[in-house]
Amino acid sequence: MIDWLMKRPASSVLGGCLVLFLLYELSVVFFAYTGDAYVTSDTVTLAAEIEGPIATLDVRDNQVVAKGAPLFTIDPTPYRLAVDESAAALANAEATLALSRDRLTASQADLASAQASETAARETYNRVSSLARSDFASGQAIDDTTRDLATAAARAAAAAADVDVARQTIAVNAASVQQAQATLNRARYELGKTAVVAPDAGRVAPFTARVGDYLQVGNQVLTLVTDNRRRVVANLSERHLARLRPGQRVWLTLGSQPWVVHAGRVTSIAPGVARSPTAPLTLPYVDPTTDWVRLPRRFPVDIALDTWPADLGFYLGADARVLVVF
C-alpha cells in the first residue's frame, strides 16, 4: 500500500484532500465550531441630554458602581437660573390671570348696573309716552326720556362688550399661565438632567472625559458594563443554521481562561443579518470570511454558560472558542 502511494504521489495528495473535504462536509451533521466568538453583556452608554461643561466626575476607570450611584454632573448654574426665571414668569402670569378675573367681576357688576339703569329708563319712557298720548306730558318730556333711554342702552351695550373683552382676556392669560408652567416644567427637567446617575449596577469602562469638557447634546461620556445577560456571542456559518436549536449543548473556552472548558447552552439564534455595513443598524452585520472560495454569511448565536465561575472575571469583548454539539 505504501509502495503504491509512493509511486503515485499526485493521486495520493488528491485522494487525501478529497477525504479531508468529505470529512469537513460531514462534520456539519454532528457539530459546529467557530473561533469567531466573544464575551458580552448588556452595556449602557451615558450621553449628555443637555449642554454645558462637566462640573464633577464622581467615578474612575473600572470602578464598580451600584444602581443610582452618581456618575457625573454638568454645571447646573444656568439651569437653576432658568428655573428661577421660569418660576417668576409663572407667578407673574398667575397674578395677571387673577387680575383679569377681578376685572371680569367688576365688568359684570357694571353690566348689571347698566342693565338696571336701562330697565328704569325704559319704564320711565313707557310711562311718559302713555301720558303724552293723553296730553298729560309735554314734548320736552318725551324727548328727555327718549334721550335717557338711548344713553342707558348704550351704557348697557358698552358694559356687555367690556364683559366679553374681560372673558377673552382671561382666556389669553390662562393660556399664558399654561405656557409659563410648561416652560418651568422644561427648566426643571433640564436641571434634573445635570446630575447623571447609574441606571443599573455595573463597572465603568475606561473613559476620556474630564472635568471642564464642554458637552453638546448627545455627546457620549462613559459606558457602563452591567452584569445583565452575561453571554457569549458566536458567529456561526449559515451552513449550520438548519441544525441549530435553542437549548443545544455547547462547549467553549474563553480567551481569559484558555485551557478551561466551560459548558453552556444555545439561548437564541439571530433571525437575520444585514448584507452590508450600510444596511439599517437595527440588524447585526458580520463581516464575511473566506471559506472554500465562497463567502458564507455568519449569524450571531447567543450562548449562556451553565454557571459563570465566581473566580473568573468578566471581560467584555474577550475572545472565545465555541463547539456546538447537534
What was the pLDDT predicted at 111? 86
The string of pLDDT tens digits covering residues 235-254 is 998 888 888 899 999 999 99
Which of 209-218, 257-266, 276-285, 304-313 reaches the highest mean pLDDT? 209-218
The secondary structure of the chain, three-state, reads CHHHHHHCHHHHHHHHHHHHHHHHHHHCCCEEEEEEEEEECCEEEEECCCCEEEEEECCCCCCEECCCCEEEEECCHHHHHHHHHHHHHHHHHHHHHHHHHHHHHHHHHHHHHHHHHHHHHHHHHHHHHHHHHCCCCCHHHHHHHHHHHHHHHHHHHHHHHHHHHHHHHHHHHHHHHHHHHHHHHHHHHHHHCCEEECCCCEEECCCCCCCCCEECCCCEEEEEEECCCCEEEEEEEHHHCCCCCCCCEEEEEECCEEEEEEEEEEEEECCCCCCCCCCCCCCCCCCCCCECCECCCEEEEEEEECCCCCCCCCCCCCEEEEEEEC
Amino acid at 53: P
Task: Say if residue 283's pLDDT is above 80.
Answer: no
Is pLDDT larger for residue 63 or for residue 153? 63
What was the pLDDT predicted at 8? 52
Q: Which pTM was predicted?
A: 0.76
Domain extents for the chain?
A: 77-192
Task: Say if residue 131's pLDDT is above 60.
Answer: yes
What was the pLDDT predicted at 223? 94
Which of 197-201, 271-275, 286-290 reaches the highest mean pLDDT? 197-201
- Whole-angstrom Cα distance, residue 240 to residue 28? 6
User: 245: which 3 cell numbers?
Assistant: 436549536
pLDDT, mean over the chain: 85
> Crossing angle, helix 77-133 and helix 139-192, to 10 degrees?
170
What was the pLDDT predicted at 5? 46
Would you say 268 and 299 are in contact if contact means Cβ atoms under 8 Å apart? no
What was the pLDDT predicted at 37? 93
The string of pLDDT tens digits covering residues 87-130 is 999 999 999 999 999 999 999 998 898 888 888 888 877 776 77
Is pLDDT larger for residue 84 or for residue 284? 84
Is pLDDT larger for residue 93 or for residue 11? 93
What was the pLDDT predicted at 154? 87
- Percent over 90 (pLDDT), the chain: 54
The string of pLDDT tens digits covering residues 249-276 is 999 999 888 888 999 999 999 888 877 7
Q: Cα 140–143–146 angle (5° rounding)?
A: 150
